[in-house]
Amino acid sequence: MLANYLIGLREGLEAALVVTILVAYLVRTGRRGALRQVWLGVGVAAGVSLAAGAALTFGPSGLSFEAQEALGGTLSILAVGLITWMIFWMARTARHLKADLQGRMDGALAAGGLAVMLVTLLAVGREGLETALFLWAAARATGSTTDPLLGAALGLASAVLLGWALYRGALRVDLRRFFAWTGLGLIVVAAGVLAYGVHDLQEAGVLPGIGSLAFDVSAAIAPDSWYGTLLRGTLNFTPQTTWLQAIAWLAYTIPVTWLYVRRVWPRQATAPAAEARSEHVAA
């Protein structure tokens, strides 16, 4: 539930920031008449995201077990790719997001109301589709639907409240730090979804090694225990993990975390190397 709360909060706040920037810009420049198109775009984006979530949930029900597992594994890996791209995209463009959105809105206002709606739809809809796909993959990994949906709903509600408070000036948040640390959390969540996607592909027979376990701690961490449920809900941890799952988890987590830290905290990441070079020169 905590992992899905983080997903809902992070993605929801990104969407809320987009809407807040657009609404505040239109109000400040005296073009309130375009607000209706903005809210229409938000509504259409929400509807498309809900439809995508429903299609992912109910669409594969008529398929065979192997086909469901193959589809689930493929989409889980796709979700990991999208969320990874989103994390690095936000780390790179967060400081320019406001100017970029305002520039797009200026162009849309010159083109007409439909263009305003499309700008909002594309900006918010991208976040919604990413959220729907990643939540679906996370729900499959945890083996539950209620808890992930509840966690995501709470995260989205928190994001809406934060967005409203930021718009009204009632709250000051260091958004750069917020997105930096939540990005690290999402990398861990994405690694768990990737491992489960690999397991799905093994179940479908697409990948080998379904019976080759790297470790089995189910005797110490019972899957139905409260702590087993907590680990599964937060880290997508499974007591029985195959070698291929473990390799995929490590192959994703280590390099992605290293690259992310270097991008988000470049001074801290390069400081030890710089100090080492200085000591070597001094010697």
Question: Is 196 a member of any domain?
Answer: yes
| Between 232 and 197, the higher pLDDT residue | 197
Domains of the chain: total: 1
Please report the pLDDT score of residue 235 as a whole number. 63
Per residue in 55-113, pLDDT (tens digit) is 887 777 777 888 888 988 898 898 899 889 888 888 777 677 778 888 888 888 888 88
What is the value of pTM for the model shown?
0.74
Question: Is 283 a member of any domain?
Answer: no
* Mean pLDDT for the stretch of residues 185-190: 86
Question: Is 94 a member of any domain?
Answer: yes
Task: Please give the single-letter amino acid code of residue 4.
Answer: N
Rounded Cα gap, residues 260 and 255, in angstroms: 8
Question: Is 132 a member of any domain?
Answer: yes
Question: Is 274 a member of any domain?
Answer: no
233-263 residues labelled b (16+ CB within 10 A) or e (exposed): bbbbbbbebbebbeebbeebbeebeeebbee
Question: Is 281 a member of any domain?
Answer: no
Question: Is 276 a member of any domain?
Answer: no
* Mean pLDDT for the stretch of residues 127-139: 79
Domain that holds residue 242: 2-269
* Mean pLDDT for the stretch of residues 249-273: 80
Q: Which two tokens stand for residue 52?
A: 């995508």
| Between 15 and 232, the higher pLDDT residue | 15
Question: Is 248 a member of any domain?
Answer: yes
Say which residues have a Cβ less than 8 Å from residue 129's Cβ, sequence separation at least 6.
Answer: 48, 49, 52
Say which residues have a Cβ less than 8 Å from residue 124's Cβ, sequence separation at least 6.
Answer: 15, 18, 19, 41, 42, 45, 46
